[in-house]
Amino acid sequence: MSIKSSLLKIVIKLTPDILIIWVANIVLKGIAELTAFNFDIETRKVYVQTRLYGEQETLEVYLEDFAVFNDGESYRFIIHQAKSDRPWLNNLLSRVIGKAWKIPEIPQLTAQLELVAELFKAKPRALEKID
């Protein structure tokens, strides 16, 4: 792992969840309100609790085991596990899980995509079960 990706990992770990919630609520104003957030970079788990605008109840979404990789032609993003507390959202997530989604090429962001791909590189599935 390069020094840049190691530093980025440290910055992500040290960023308070409340700061992420505050910024997300500014960006999502009028659409949704983020009420809880947790991101564990080591285990690659994300937990999000949000309330959609005009709704009373919150939605919970869990993402696990995601990766960014270069397939030789482009960078791709894949999620291996995702679930929610709503059946309709689980059905939607089931259509996204396991598919490698192409990340659009933006020449100005190539260096940043390389860094993100290094930080979230795919883990060999067979080796994970051994450990």
Question: CA-based angle 33:39:42, to the nearest 5?
Answer: 170
Q: Per the structure block, which two tokens stand in for 20?
A: 């992420």
pLDDT tens digits for range 40-90: 998 999 999 999 999 999 999 999 999 999 988 899 999 999 999 999 999
Residue 68 lies in a domain: yes
Residue 93 lies in a domain: yes
Residue 90 lies in a domain: yes
What letter represents residue 6's amino acid?
S
What is the band of 131 on the pLDDT scale with cuts at 50, 70, 90? Answer: very low
Total count of domains within the chain: 1
Does the structure show a pLDDT above 80 at 129?
Answer: no
Q: pTM, whole model, 2 decimals?
A: 0.80
Angle subtended by helix axes 3-14 and 110-119, to nearest 10: 70
| Domain membership of residue 23 as a residue range | 3-124
The per-residue b/e assignment along 39-64, b for 16 or more CB within 10 angstroms, e otherwise, is: beeeebebebbbeeeeeeebbebebe
Residue 131 lies in a domain: no
Residue 49 lies in a domain: yes
Residue 71 lies in a domain: yes
Euclidean distance between CA atoms 131 and 129, whole angstroms: 6
Distances (CA, A) of 47 to 14, 22, 75, 110, 128: 17, 16, 24, 28, 21
Q: Number of helices (H) and strands (E), helices first, in the chain?
A: 5, 5
